[in-house]
């Protein structure tokens, strides 16, 4: 289980920008194969209030020095947006709906503490931008500490 918040330190702005919490449950069904289920709730409050509830599943395959995963995540969103109606009155417009994300990730271990990572797929559709987005990320991960192998076998 985890949670996070983003705070704004400037004056005349709401101090809490966004927050959320999530839970992950993983199950290794062999030494190199695992399923992970993720649930999360994210909330942002600015000129509009947006809340997302996400539920997803991913499969992870570990091969000597290489990891590969596939992920599908579904999102239900609700947004309260300040708007102006035809009579020039300020109203709060309510938008609700759902969208999904499908992605594939891979990482290749160059050294014990360095890996190269790539992620690509279809991102969530945006409530505010009417387009379907594709994302691709490439990066290098450097771990400060030596990874510890966790033994999941029953004894």
In the prediction, which pLDDT does 15 show? 62
pLDDT of 6 strictly over 70: no
pLDDT of 8 strictly over 70: no
pLDDT of 135 strictly over 90: no
Domain residue ranges of the chain, discontinuous segments joined by +: 2-104
Least confident of 30-34, 41-45, 95-99: 41-45
Computed over every residue of the chain, the mean pLDDT equals: 83
Q: How far is CA 73 from CA 12, 30, 68, 81, 126, in A?
A: 36, 23, 17, 25, 14
Mean pLDDT of 85-97: 87
Regarding predicted confidence, which is higher, 69 or 14? 69
Mean pLDDT of 9-36: 81
d(CA 15, CA 46): 10
- How confident is residue 65, by pLDDT bands cut at 50, 70 and 90? confident
**E strands along the chain, which residues?**
2-7, 16-30, 33-45, 48-63, 66-84, 90-111, 114-122, 134-142
Q: Are strands 134-142 and 48-63 parallel, antiparallel or unpaired?
A: unpaired
- How confident is residue 129, by pLDDT bands cut at 50, 70 and 90? low
CA-wise closest residue to 65 among 136, 116, 123: 116
In the prediction, which pLDDT does 3 show? 66
In the prediction, which pLDDT does 34 show? 94
Which residue reads 């014990």 in tokens? Answer: 112
Its pTM stands at 0.72
């Amino acid at each position: 289980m985890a949670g996070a918040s983003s705070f704004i330190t400037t004056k005349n702005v709401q101090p809490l920008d966004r927050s959320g919490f999530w839970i992950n449950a993983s199950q290794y069904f062999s030494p190199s194969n695992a399923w992970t289920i993720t649930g999360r709730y994210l909330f942002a409050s600015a000129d509009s209030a947006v809340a997302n509830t996400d539920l997803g599943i991913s499969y992870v395959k570990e091969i000597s020095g290489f990891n590969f995963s596939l992920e599908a995540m579904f999102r239900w969103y609700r947004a309260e947006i300040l708007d102006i109606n035809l009579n020039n009155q300020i109203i709060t417009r309510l938008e609700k709906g759902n969208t999904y994300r499908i992605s594939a990730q891979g990482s290749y271990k160059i050294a014990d503490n360095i890996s190269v990572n790539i992620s690509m797929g279809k991102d969530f559709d945006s409530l505010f931008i009417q387009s379907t987005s594709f994302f691709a990320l490439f990066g290098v991960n450097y771990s400060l500490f030596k990874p510890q192998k966790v033994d999941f076998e029953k004894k």
